[in-house]
Structure 1
């Protein structure tokens, strides 16, 4: 009986770890899709990945909603040329994932070229089978 209980515990822990690893990978995949969509102006992907109640706090102190952020890309106020993830760590809390990372951004913001490193924190929530970004904050790092 003790062997059976031990086997059940080991199998349960193994399943939980496998699920956790799969969720971490799914969140990192969504993060990459979002970065690519920002560069290629793929509004369909941005509409899917960004939650309707997104709050994005930019490194310059400005704040955007999903709608205003996507509109800034459409209007050409915000243009991304490259986003290179340098560090990423995912922590899972049930249906919520927190991503802490560092990335190199090459972009144009209101006509001004930007080439900077950012430390960022993203909060994703799983809604059904889809992970969506609900909060996003970045901070400029010294180059």
Structure 2
């Protein structure tokens, strides 16, 4: 499998883990030195981001990929990903949801022991 295909599969797996609150997957695919910048500009470390999901501050009803582009560099040891996603919030008590359109950039590196690791996430909310 090419680096581009591996990273694309990992992106899909990570989004699914965020929705399902699969902390084991998130611990595996997020780098220890992760810088996670949300669409509103605030930043989290890996531990802070995973805790924000545990605490319900970061909630995902679904994450749909509208566009995904992966480019591999450095002899397939680094990948830059950019795309557009739609994040739907979990339903509120009245059944309504909020949909956020996000453009994002991700940098992943391939660690010899851990495999692909997300080390940078930068999001920008769209109108």
Same fold (TM over 0.5): yes
2:24 counterpart of 1:44: yes
2-structure distance, mates of 1:137, 1:77: 18
Larger radius of gyration: 1
- Equivalent residue for 1:135? 120
Number of equivalences: 118
Q: Runs of 5+ in structure 1 lacking a partner? A: 1-20
- Equivalent residue for 2:89? 107
**Equivalent runs, 1:84-99 vs 2, <5 Å:** 84-94=64-74, 95-99=77-81
SS in 2 for 1:61: coil
User: RMSD of the TM alignment (CA)?
Assistant: 1.3
2-structure distance, mates of 1:59, 1:107: 15
Could you tell me how far 1:107 is from its partner in structure 2?
2.5
1-structure distance, mates of 2:107, 2:69: 12
- Equivalent residue for 1:3? none
Could you tell me how far 1:121 is from its partner in structure 2?
0.2
1-structure distance, mates of 2:68, 2:83: 4
Q: Runs of 5+ in structure 2 lacking a partner? A: 91-96
The higher relative CO (CA closer than 8 Å, separation ≥ 6) is in 2
TM-score normalized with structure 1 length: 0.79
Query: Which is richer in helix?
Result: 1
Could you tell me how far 1:67 is from its partner in structure 2?
0.2
